[in-house]
Amino acid sequence: MSTDPLFAPIPGADHRDIGGIELDIFPTGAARVKRMIYPPGFRWSTQMKPVAKTEFCMHAHVGFLARGQIRALFSDGCTEDYTAPCVLAVPPGHDTWVVGDEACVFIEFDFEKDTVQRLGLPEGHHHG
């Protein structure tokens, strides 16, 4: 068991395990703060696609990648790599997976289905 505090149980969290992701959710005003732990080998299209019932993840993700590395494949065929520590904003329309054998810890800020609108994000991947 890890002694890293990023993986420690968080008192008062709404703790869930969805598709292999350990998720701790905290309501904060109109938003939520979530700690998500993705295990090595996790891939959205394998574990979450059957749950979401969409071709790609249609949720925007904004936050801080504190541990690990994630690769995103967008519906337009582009890929982007994110390596901790980094801040990231991944628009809807993506598949993501953990790269390597280290679990990823992502601290996310969202407004549930209103994240794109409330944070002024693009509704899909665009080349800048």
Judged against a pLDDT cut of 90, whether residue 16 lies above it is answered with yes
pLDDT for the residue 124: 85
Is 90 exceeded by the pLDDT of residue 96? yes
pTM: 0.90
Q: Which residue has the tokens 């299209």?
A: 45
DSSP letter, residue 93: S
CATH class of 12-109: mainly beta
Grade residue 121 by pLDDT with cuts at 50, 70 and 90: confident
pLDDT at 125 exceeding the cut of 90: no
* More confident call, 121 vs 2: 121
In terms of pLDDT, which residue wins out, 2 or 98?
Answer: 98
What ranges do the domains of the chain cover? 12-109
Is the model's pLDDT at 47 over the cut of 80?
yes
Grouping H, G, I as helix, E, B as strand and the rest as coil, residue 97 is: strand
- Dump pLDDT digits (tens) for 25-45: 999 999 999 999 999 999 999
Name the residue with tokens 């549930």.
Answer: 112
Sign of CA dihedral 29, 31, 88, 81: positive
Q: In degrees rounded to 5, what are phi and psi of residue 117? A: -65, -50
The answer on pLDDT for 1 being more than 60 is: no
